[in-house]
């Protein structure tokens, strides 16, 4: 087993991480390759297709920007995904002070 040359999937990811770190490291946490299940409570996604949920369990977000404030340390603020969620895109919709996941497939269903 050999080590890869980089933990990143593309040069674009490296460039974005460097830009994020330069601008935001003192204000938020910047994490790469975060499993979707660390951000979204997948078992509670009732009403979604099993194939959508299974896909999310195997998928990572390229970057998650999270709060570093004491009261809500680690709370996801922004998700950046370059290429992974082609089959299922997770959008967070704000509704009445809560965040609701919405899963879309390629054709929007």
Q: How do residues 54-109 score in pLDDT, each as one tens digit?
A: 777 788 888 888 998 888 899 888 888 776 544 334 444 444 444 444 544 443 44
Q: Where are the domains of the chain?
A: 27-104
Provide the pLDDT for residue 84.
52
CA-wise closest residue to 55 among 80, 88, 16: 88
pLDDT band at 8 (very low <50, low <70, confident <90, very high): confident
Provide the pLDDT for residue 29.
92
pTM of the model: 0.66
Torsion 15-13-34-40 (CA) sign = positive
Express each pLDDT in 18-36 by its tens digit: 988 888 888 899 998 898 8
Provide the pLDDT for residue 44.
65
Provide the pLDDT for residue 43.
67
DSSP string, 2-52: ---S-SSS-HHHHHHHHHHHHHHTTTEEEEEEEEHHHHS-GGG-TTS-HHH
């Amino acid at each position: 087993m050999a080590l890869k040359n980089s933990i990143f999937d593309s040069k674009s990811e490296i460039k974005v991480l460097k830009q994020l770190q330069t601008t935001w490291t003192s204000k938020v946490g910047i994490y790469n390759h975060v499993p979707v299940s660390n951000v979204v409570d997948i078992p509670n996604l009732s009403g979604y297709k099993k194939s959508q949920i299974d896909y999310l369990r195997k998928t990572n977000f390229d970057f998650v920007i999270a709060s570093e404030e004491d009261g809500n340390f680690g709370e996801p603020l922004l998700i950046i995904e370059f290429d992974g969620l082609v089959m299922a895109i997770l959008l967070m919709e704000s509704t009445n002070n809560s965040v609701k996941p919405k899963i879309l497939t390629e054709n929007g269903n």
